[in-house]
Amino acid sequence: MSQQPRPARTASATWTAGPLLGFDTETTGVSPTSDRLVTAALVARGPRGADGTRTQQVTTWLADPGVAIPASATDVHGISTARARAEGRPVGEVLEKVAAALAAAMAAGTPVVAYNAAYDLTLLEAELARHGLPTMRERLGRELGPVVDPLVIDRRVDRYRRGKRRLTDLCSYYGIDPEAAGLHTAEVDVVATLDVLDAMAYAHPEIARIPRAELMSWQAAAHRDWAESFNDFLRRRGRTPDVSPAWPLPDGV
């Protein structure tokens, strides 16, 4: 566990001051319902102290997904089929540990922070069901939450900013300098996501003022508004509108 010096950017009474649990995955592809887990990372940040510091604990897993990892996916995250089979734990074992940690955090009211959370959470639910393990909703006995998605929040608070909104883009925009290892390593992506959220809350103080009890409904409404607008954009260009307005899990999951 390491101490992370952080500027005291928000009042300690707000949810942004922690604790927070960051979450990210790397997978075999881009379809959350059919592709498989390869790596997962959790980064637990404790509450911000009076001096601005926070404790941080990183936990990572490498899984053998049970299927070949396409070269296109290996090019992104660096994990080959051979390495996953030689060094990875059985995917069911990894899924159980990740889901147990996330469910415990949510049950305690700790926000789970994930960039483009709908992808990672949909993949996790699909993988748990595929391997005969209790899904997150079954573990909680309710819908998922609290979840915080910096992508959803950024689209709402700075909706007219032009350009792409990948994690790399937001790191550049908010002045975050990820580690030299670069993004697309799960633990580096999680740390960058938490740092982006912190910088975003500093730039847009209204984020910190969202009541904890309203985090899910606020983001669900923000995502729905964006999705409806984006689907209209697709229709105007003769393309099929394919973005689910539901969040944090799409319709049908």
Residue 11 has a pLDDT of 39
pLDDT at 10 over 90: no
The angle subtended at Cα 169 by Cα 172 and Cα 99, nearest 5°, is 110
Q: How far apart are CA 116 and CA 149, in angstroms?
A: 6
**Structure confidence by residue, pLDDT tens digits, 15-74:** 998 899 999 999 999 999 999 999 999 999 988 888 878 889 999 999 999 999 999 999
Residue 2 has a pLDDT of 37
Q: How far apart are CA 244 and CA 32, in angstroms?
A: 13
Report in angstroms the alpha-carbon separations of 196 from 52, 64, 141, 149, 244.
Answer: 16, 30, 31, 11, 25
Q: How many CB atoms lie within 10 A of CB 191?
A: 23
Structure tokens, 219: 């983001």
Residue 55 has a pLDDT of 87
User: Between 46 and 10, where is the model more confident?
Assistant: 46
**Structure confidence by residue, pLDDT tens digits, 93-143:** 999 999 999 999 999 999 999 999 999 999 999 999 999 999 999 999 999
Domain 2-236: which CATH class?
alpha beta
Q: What is the pTM of this model?
A: 0.90
Residue 252 has a pLDDT of 80
Domain positions in the chain: 2-236
**Structure confidence by residue, pLDDT tens digits, 201-238:** 999 999 999 999 999 999 999 999 999 999 999 999 99
**Structure confidence by residue, pLDDT tens digits, 182-208:** 455 678 899 999 999 999 999 999 999
Residue 156 has a pLDDT of 96
Q: How confident is the model at residue 91 (pLDDT cuts 50, 70, 90)?
A: very high
